[in-house]
Structure 1
Amino acid sequence: MYLLLQLLVIVLAFISLEHVAIIAHAQPYTSIVAPINKHTDVAKPLYSVKITTTLAPANFLIDIDAPFIWYNCIVQWNRYLTDCPSNTVCTTPVSYVAYQCEDVRTYTYSYKNPSCSGVLDWGFTCPIHVVEPVTSSCDQVILNYDHFTLYTSDGRMVGVNPNAACATPSLFTSFPANVSGVMAFSSSPYTLPAYFSQQTLALCIPSKSSTRGVLFFGNGPYYLLPQSKVDIRSYLSYTPLLKHQNSFGYFISVNSIVIKNRSINVPTNTTTKLSTIDPYTTLRTDIYNGVVRRFSMVTKRLHPAKPVAPFGLCFSTSTIGLKVPNIDFILPDGKKWTVSTANSIKKITKKVACLAFVDGGATSEPAIVIGAFQFEDNFLEFNLQNSTLGFSSSLLRKKTSCANLNFTPTNNP
């Protein structure tokens, strides 16, 4: 029986590699696209991408730091011989002796957090650690052979067989409704772009839950209405992506933060991380205090309001509209990522709005984490081949937004 199981794993691995090879040599296609949704039904705003699994389309949290894909499914050695339970995705597990198991476990070890300890022996399968991104709790999942399908921008379907992992439903209790997995978009070799052999990932996150943003794999071009003939790449500035020890996430260098011609000091070698899970930009206390002090000075005309957690600086919106100065992240070579009002001020109630920057504490590491609220209606292009980040600043200033992709019937996932 044991030899039979090993033979089955080898055959399935061969089929998976063969399928990837067929895709790689298929007729060239334009960018792969997938819709992005914003969720506000949980403790903090989160964003998901819709991708078709073996059963049906499913929503996965967008995580640009996660090392691999995992979602709500079960593994079955004999899934081709017996029926899968209703409304359940069944996949074949990776054997503990398979090379994929050793590779993923090796990469996972660099992602340990204090709540992760040891790996249980689950028979012939490959258990690995996963850090649930919403609560940062640790659990174990089972590595599998999987299949996902997406659409290209010209309406064709493309599929790929990645190694993902199956998790139990209990791991998704803190997730938004109808979101049942984590889609990894980091620089790890076990992310979806890596399996599609795409070196470029572009994100355009919507600012409203009632609209859809868009995710692209590929080198573009990228078009948004109403400028249907303007490639969004023409709006981008570029800065180097940096590597960080024990992380597949994305990091950049921020030399200073400027508010109305006054620079807030950022210590040399300060680490700046990009995050789609942290909802707002988090600053180490020394940097945060400088930003809040300067922002308070240039907004004296605004009526203050009692701070609303987790924010430390809030304003009344009852008597005057909120139009505040830009906050500029000054990057190497003089590049400037501008955070305008739409991405710096978070409306809390009809009468209160707050500066959407959070105090991370005196010892927080990384010292700066640029959060997802600052990404909304910005276009971000992660080029892994060139190790660069392309950023547009707010598209609203270009009279467009992330909700303006024309998802026509021919390319609608």
Structure 2
Amino acid sequence: MLLLMQLIFILLAIISHEYEAQAAFEPPYSSVVVPVNKHIDAVKPLYSVQILTAYINSQYLHANFLIDLDAPFIWHDCILQWNTFEGSCPNNTLCTYPVSCEEYQCTDVRTIYSYQSPSCPPVTNDSTIPDWGYCTCPVNVVNPITGSCSQALLNYDEFTVNTSDGRNVFTDLYGAYPNAACAPSSTFQSFPANVTGVMALSSSPYALPAYLYDPLKRIVALCLPSNLSAPGILLYGTGPYNLLPHSNVDVRSLLSYTPLIKHPDSFGYFINVSSIVIKTRSIDIPTNSTTKLSTIEPYTTLRTDIYNGVVRRFLKVTQRIPPAKPVAPFGLCFNTSINGTQVSIKVPDVDFSLQDGKKWTVSTANSIKQITKDVACLAFVDGGATSEPAIVIGTFQCEDNFLVFDLENSTFGFSSSLLRKQTSCSNFNFTLTNSS
């Protein structure tokens, strides 16, 4: 009996020691990281992330996914195949395992976490895979570029990304296993070249953030690049976030925060803008108005009453800059050529006044779009008299701004222009290093 008690005591001590060791272990990474690329070969500027999608013949395949803050789930160019053993998938094709129409994920995605579009027809359970014996799960997907509806098949997917401590990118990898959907290759014809998927970064439980678990925290940091030559960055995790050349400066110290507002008809991100201030004069925003953040709309769209107030104010503060004929879709443009020589123009900041007295400053780099050598335009667009949301903040205003969607605390962090801090979204060091 004494021997038995001694053995139990030793066993409990070993278990306790292992538990303490596991609890004390801290991984070398605080985030996962992927580069963000800008594309200008579609109908409007768009941004993508590159994800590792499958490990075949001792190497990873990768795919580029369009960043969408609204999408309820991920979907991309792939095919379903129930027998996914090595060599069963056609060459240069990504194969994934199907979700049955009888599984709860199918009902969830079809009903609660679906695309809401009147152009989408009802889905049925008629689809099957040869020799599988179960019905697949067709779901509707909406092309974020054209607005057209198509059908895709829900799957069990596997994505892989690099880990990071906010300053370095590690060779160590992190796996995520989302329920995504496979859409036909033809669905992506309107997408930028080599972009064959939609990466949902919304608050939906079927978007990517929901599949990234401990030790990561539900915090999405996004920094859109303004040029094509170097990528921006998407980080998921607590940070820190360090950009060159000031790698000792944590970008979190540059951020202001405002609450994220829930919208009943969207999984996207909304904030409360109370007014737009241009050179001390305020254009008030009606209290029932909503402001949405978008990675699809290229320029900030304002409801007509708000837009007219901004343009009137801008005309007054830019009287010394010669006007130019407007270039669609813009309503206010300027001449940037003197005697045939291009000159740069500087205009007053545009401040979005937020809750708690915070302000998101839009500087000249994010408010004036150079169209030709001779013409630059105010990069705000008239959304129409009944536009809802009243304000949609577009990607041009977000470039080289560090943005943080903190789903843990339901807050939105923003830096305003990093260019004023002598850095940019393209200044993250993506050189791979060993974490040990």
Fold match by TM threshold 0.5: yes
Is 2:136 aligned against 1:113? no
Once residues 353 and 263 of structure 2 are traced to their aligned partners in structure 1, the CA distance between those partners, rounded to angstroms, is: 20
Match of 1:133 among 132, 135, 144: 144
Confirm or deny: 8 A CA contact 2:113 2:206 kept in the other structure: no
Deviations 1:207-264 (A, max 9, x none): 0011110000000000000111000000000000000012110000000000001001
What letter matches 2:403 in structure 1? L
Confirm or deny: 8 A CA contact 1:108 1:129 kept in the other structure: no
What letter matches 2:427 in structure 1? N
- Paired residue secondary structure (2:262): strand
What letter matches 2:119 in structure 1? S
1:41 corresponds to: 41
Is 2:107 aligned against 1:102? yes
Deviations 1:64-123 (A, max 9, x none): 1111000000001223276211111011110001111112112244x3212112113323
Once residues 232 and 86 of structure 2 are traced to their aligned partners in structure 1, the CA distance between those partners, rounded to angstroms, is: 40
What letter matches 1:132 in structure 2? N
Deviations 1:180-225 (A, max 9, x none): 0000000011111110134100001100011110000000000000
What letter matches 2:122 in structure 1? G
Is 2:364 aligned against 1:341? yes
Once residues 96 and 344 of structure 2 are traced to their aligned partners in structure 1, the CA distance between those partners, rounded to angstroms, is: 54
Structure showing greater radius of gyration is 2
Deviations 1:372-409 (A, max 9, x none): 11110000000001000000000000010000001113
- Paired residue secondary structure (2:288): coil
1:282 corresponds to: 301
1:164 corresponds to: 180
2:408 corresponds to: 385
Deviations 1:14-37 (A, max 9, x none): xxxxxxxxxxx9946321110000
Give the Å deviation of 1:317: 0.8
Deviations 1:290-334 (A, max 9, x none): 001101111111111111111111111102421000000000111
**Larger CA deviation: 41-50 vs 312-321:** 312-321
Once residues 411 and 183 of structure 1 are traced to their aligned partners in structure 2, the CA distance between those partners, rounded to angstroms, is: 28
1:297 corresponds to: 316
TM-score, normalised to structure 1, is 0.91
Confirm or deny: 8 A CA contact 2:113 2:204 kept in the other structure: no
1:4 corresponds to: none
Confirm or deny: 8 A CA contact 1:152 1:411 kept in the other structure: no
What letter matches 2:344 in structure 1? G
Once residues 250 and 26 of structure 2 are traced to their aligned partners in structure 1, the CA distance between those partners, rounded to angstroms, is: 26
Is 2:245 aligned against 1:241? no
Once residues 287 and 81 of structure 1 are traced to their aligned partners in structure 2, the CA distance between those partners, rounded to angstroms, is: 58
Once residues 86 and 76 of structure 2 are traced to their aligned partners in structure 1, the CA distance between those partners, rounded to angstroms, is: 23
Match of 2:418 among 391, 395, 400: 395
Q: Residues 70-81 of structure 1 correspond to what in structure 2 (within 5 A)?
A: 70-80=75-85
Once residues 131 and 293 of structure 1 are traced to their aligned partners in structure 2, the CA distance between those partners, rounded to angstroms, is: 37
Once residues 251 and 184 of structure 1 are traced to their aligned partners in structure 2, the CA distance between those partners, rounded to angstroms, is: 16
1:273 corresponds to: 292
- Paired residue secondary structure (1:288): helix
**Larger CA deviation: 27-36 vs 282-291:** 27-36
- Paired residue secondary structure (1:67): coil
Once residues 50 and 182 of structure 2 are traced to their aligned partners in structure 1, the CA distance between those partners, rounded to angstroms, is: 18
Q: Residues 58-207 of structure 1 correspond to what in structure 2 (within 5 A)?
A: 58-80=63-85, 83-109=88-114, 111-121=115-125, 122-123=127-128, 124-153=135-164, 154-155=169-170, 156-197=172-213, 198-207=217-226
What letter matches 2:75 in structure 1? W
- Paired residue secondary structure (2:399): coil
Considering only aligned residues, what root-mean-square deviation do their CA atoms show, in Å? 1.7
- Paired residue secondary structure (2:180): strand
1:29 corresponds to: 29
Once residues 326 and 140 of structure 2 are traced to their aligned partners in structure 1, the CA distance between those partners, rounded to angstroms, is: 38
- Paired residue secondary structure (1:243): coil
Q: Residues 227-266 of structure 1 correspond to what in structure 2 (within 5 A)?
A: 227-266=246-285
Confirm or deny: 8 A CA contact 1:94 1:145 kept in the other structure: yes
What letter matches 2:380 in structure 1? F
Count, aligned residues: 388
Identity of aligned residues (%): 67
Give the Å deviation of 1:54: 1.2
Once residues 196 and 262 of structure 1 are traced to their aligned partners in structure 2, the CA distance between those partners, rounded to angstroms, is: 44
Give the Å deviation of 1:367: 0.5
2:326 corresponds to: 307
Confirm or deny: 8 A CA contact 2:327 2:333 kept in the other structure: yes
Once residues 307 and 43 of structure 1 are traced to their aligned partners in structure 2, the CA distance between those partners, rounded to angstroms, is: 19
Once residues 86 and 108 of structure 2 are traced to their aligned partners in structure 1, the CA distance between those partners, rounded to angstroms, is: 29
Distance 1:411 1:264, change over 3 A: farther
Confirm or deny: 8 A CA contact 1:339 1:374 kept in the other structure: yes
Distance 1:82 1:231, change over 3 A: closer
- Paired residue secondary structure (1:279): coil
- Paired residue secondary structure (2:282): strand
Confirm or deny: 8 A CA contact 1:44 1:279 kept in the other structure: yes
Is 2:50 aligned against 1:50? yes
